[in-house]
């Protein structure tokens, strides 16, 4: 009986691992979307209000979210009428308001340092409430070659640096193969906060974070932009085609002041799962190397 119990426990842990669970928080389930739990999480982080909207507009925007929030099983719900103004939770912003706030905030950044500080304060994306920290970028801010991936994973969330896990090590080897390293390129992601369980960012999360990534590209102003994977490619290059059709092709990325050559290629995480595609990625990296050499001459 004990052996069966141990086997069942190991199988359960293996299931959780495959599902993306990487940390044990408590024995009882907690509805993290419940209004009172969100309020406690935000209070613990000592965060500022999510969006600078007039009080009446903010109340109207957040009201539907409060109505949909399920009561927490761990804490008895508090009737809305009994909450004071200071105790009211900062509900997630409606997508349109969050996207507009992101565009306004991103445009106000005159440097990468300002952009990072603005992102660090930005409350319009709910992912920041579940992530450990902001994962902004790595490498040379004046690099001629810029890579944009999808979103941070567990290792990146802990380190605060993009592409430091297995995918990052593979990317380092790919860069070395064309005579580069991460100190000579600039690396960022479409979404700067880790989605829970390493899931793919939702279209809403991507749309909210996209203005910051676009401004990041404008400020770096590289000669060549490389989109790593499908989410990055579709968001930045406005295409609905899959990565297998877009990889290896040159696109145009408009910053508003100049045109940047852009190429999609496979994400290193995909290559780890599908080693046979490495030969195609190698062709892409050779084309990127040739493009950099041509622009330098």
Q: What pLDDT score does 95 carry?
A: 81
pLDDT band at residue 16 under the 50/70/90 scheme: low
Strands of the chain (E only): list them: 138-139, 145-149, 186-189, 224-228, 251-254, 259-265
Residue 116: both structure tokens together: 């990072």
Residue 206: both structure tokens together: 């991507």
The CATH class of the 95-296 domain is: alpha beta
As a whole number, mean pLDDT of residues 238-243 equals 95
Per the model's pLDDT, the better-predicted residue between 67 and 205 turns out to be: 205
Per the model's pLDDT, the better-predicted residue between 164 and 67 turns out to be: 164
As a whole number, mean pLDDT of residues 65-79 equals 40
> Rounded distance, CA 202 to CA 206, Å?
6
Evaluate if residue 258 carries a pLDDT over 50.
yes
> Rounded distance, CA 264 to CA 241, Å?
11
Task: Tell how strand 138-139 and strand 186-189 pair up.
Answer: antiparallel
Query: pLDDT tens for residues 161-218?
Result: 999 999 999 999 999 999 999 999 999 999 999 999 999 999 999 999 999 999 999 9
Q: What pLDDT score does 256 carry?
A: 86
Provide, rounded to the nearest whole percent, the portion of the chain with pLDDT above 70.
70
Domain with CATH 3.40.470.10 in the chain: 95-296
* R_g (Cα) of the chain, nearest Å: 21
CA 296 vs. chain centroid, Å, equals 32
Evaluate if residue 288 carries a pLDDT over 90.
yes
Per the model's pLDDT, the better-predicted residue between 1 and 214 turns out to be: 214
Query: pLDDT tens for residues 78-115?
Result: 444 333 333 333 444 568 999 999 999 999 999 999 99
Most confident of 38-47, 80-89, 138-147: 138-147
Evaluate if residue 291 carries a pLDDT over 70.
yes
Supply the pTM of this predicted model. Answer: 0.70
Strands of 150-258 (E only): list them: 186-189, 224-228, 251-254
As a whole number, mean pLDDT of residues 125-138 equals 96
Sheet of 186-189, strands arranged across: 138-139, 186-189, 145-149, 224-228, 259-265, 251-254
Q: What pLDDT score does 51 carry?
A: 38
């Amino acid at each position: 009986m004990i052996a069966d119990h141990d086997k069942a426990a190991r199988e359960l842990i293996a299931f959780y691992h495959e599902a993306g669970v990487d940390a044990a928080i408590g024995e009882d389930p907690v509805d993290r979307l419940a209004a009172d739990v969100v309020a406690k999480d935000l209070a613990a982080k000592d965060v500022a209000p999510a969006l600078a909207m007039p009080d009446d507009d903010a109340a109207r925007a957040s009201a539907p979210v409060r109505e949909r929030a399920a009561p927490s099983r761990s804490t008895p719900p508090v009737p809305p009428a009994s909450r004071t103004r200071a105790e009211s939770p900062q509900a997630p912003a409606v997508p349109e308001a969050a996207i507009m706030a992101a565009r306004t905030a991103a445009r106000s950044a005159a440097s990468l340092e300002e952009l990072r500080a603005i992102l660090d304060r930005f409350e319009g994306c709910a992912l920041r409430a579940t992530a450990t920290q902001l994962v902004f970028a790595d490498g040379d801010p004046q690099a001629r070659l810029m890579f944009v991936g999808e979103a941070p994973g567990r290792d990146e969330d802990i380190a605060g640096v993009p592409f430091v896990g297995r995918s990052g090590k593979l990317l380092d080897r790919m860069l070395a193969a064309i005579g580069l390293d991460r100190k000579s390129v600039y690396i960022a992601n479409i979404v700067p906060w880790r989605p829970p369980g390493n899931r793919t960012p939702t279209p809403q999360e991507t749309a909210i974070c996209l203005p910051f990534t676009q401004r990041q590209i404008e400020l770096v102003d590289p000669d060549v932009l490389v989109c790593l994977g499908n989410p990055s490619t579709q968001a930045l290059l406005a295409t609905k085609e899959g990565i297998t059709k877009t990889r290896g092709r040159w696109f145009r990325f408009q910053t508003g002041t100049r045109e940047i050559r852009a190429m999609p290629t496979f994400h290193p995480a995909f290559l780890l799962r599908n080693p046979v595609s490495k030969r195609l990625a190698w062709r892409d990296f050779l084309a990127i190397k040739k493009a950099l050499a041509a622009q330098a001459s």
